[in-house]
Amino acid sequence: MKRIVQCVPNFSEGRDLDKIEAIVKPLKNQEGFNLVSYEPDKDYNRTVVTLLGDPEAMVQPLLKFMEKVIEHIDMNKQSGEHPRMGALDVLPFIPISNITMDECVEYAKKMGEEIASSLDVPVFLYAEAAQETARKKLPNIRKGEYEGMKEKIKEPKWKPDYGKADTHPTAGVTGVGARMPLIAYNIDLATDDLDVAKRIARYIRGSSGGFKHIQAGPVFLNERNHVQVTMNILNYKQNPIYRIFEVVKMEAKRFGVEVPSSEIVGLIPKETIELSLKYYYACENKAYKAINDMDTLSNEAKTYLKFRDFDQLKIIEANVE
């Protein structure tokens, strides 16, 4: 069984396409993992890269990639709408299949050590890789950003996990972490009343007492002319999709509003679908047997979770041959 990790480095250049090409080049056509996508954002001045495959195979190419990041980005001249503390701002490892979170934490530590020792960029471990509670949440570390980090890193409380307590002169610092895959999930409501979406979002999101790993808000879709509850699911094992979908349906009833469909933005691990199918099959008193055909799996997701605009290529595992 192949080990699959999703690795999502974010670097602080989203405008100069020549530079971006030069930076991602070391990640192209490598053995053991795929460069699934790299998406520059001009407003953010930031590019999000997605790799899928064996983390062991990623280590050396990631170091060569980071050399290019340092070569092409000078943080003293960089600005954009997205908060950032370094040229390679963050590098998270996300367990997808046949690999544990603990193993991803080990890869985060390994990468952190390499980045600090061979490239002289101080590293903070964050999320599941954090060694201190205050470093669990990335925004805590990044507060003050590149500019503020020059002083912040000298405080004993903010000594980096790897490297010296002094920022790299042009690349700042890097956050290396391990975390659960984040599921971007939206539930359609058959109404144009934004207040309904607002109230339901408040009922279910962790910050107002709902499910711990749900971030949720209301949105009106101009093109489709209806509202959605738009969400991030930060831990799909503890807050599986079916539970959120069913609770939203339950709450929508009080407004007399139908819930015709839902949608996934980006990619999801197949386990997110399996956890939900297990629930629906059990409700129908049907045994659940592992579905290995990705097309069948995506069709079942459409049937039970009412995913629209969904196909097997939205399942991470379908992107790794």
- Which position among 82, 168, 213, 226 bears the catalytic label? 82
Question: Considering only 136-144, 184-192, 249-257, 289-297, which stretch makes contact with its own copies by CB under 8 A?
Answer: 249-257
Residue 250 touches its own copies, criterion: CB under 8 A: yes
Site size with its own copies, rule: CB under 8 A:
25
Tell which positions 193-212 bind its own copies, by CB under 8 A: 203, 206, 208-212
Residue 243 touches its own copies, criterion: CB under 8 A: yes
Between CA 258 and CA 143 the distance in angstroms is 41
Nearer to its own copies, 69 or 196 (CB): 196
At its nearest, how many Å lie between its own copies and the CB of residue 51?
A: 28
CA distances from 288 to 197, 240, 273 (A): 33, 16, 12
Rg, C-alpha atoms of the chain? 21
At its nearest, how many Å lie between its own copies and the CB of residue 148?
A: 24
Residue 160 touches its own copies, criterion: CB under 8 A: no
Tell which positions 219-238 bind its own copies, by CB under 8 A: 235, 238
Between CA 162 and CA 300 the distance in angstroms is 46
Active site residue 72: no
DSSP state string for 41-61:
ETTTTEEEEEEEE-HHHHHHH
Nearer to its own copies, 168 or 179 (CB): 179
At its nearest, how many Å lie between its own copies and the CB of residue 264?
A: 20
At its nearest, how many Å lie between its own copies and the CB of residue 157?
A: 17
Residue 283 touches its own copies, criterion: CB under 8 A: yes
Between CA 264 and CA 315 the distance in angstroms is 10
Q: Which residues pair with 52 in a beta bridge?
A: 6, 34
Buried (b) or exposed (e) across 8-41, using 16+ Cβ within 10 A?
bbbbbbbbeeebbeebbebbeebeebbbbebebe
Residue 247 touches its own copies, criterion: CB under 8 A: yes
At its nearest, how many Å lie between its own copies and the CB of residue 250?
A: 5
Residue linked to tokens 């599921």: 183
Between CA 70 and CA 108 the distance in angstroms is 19
Q: Which residues are catalytic?
A: 82
Instruction: Give contact residues for its own copies (rule: CB under 8 A).
Output: 203, 206, 208-213, 235, 238-239, 243, 246-247, 250-251, 253-256, 278-279, 282-283, 285
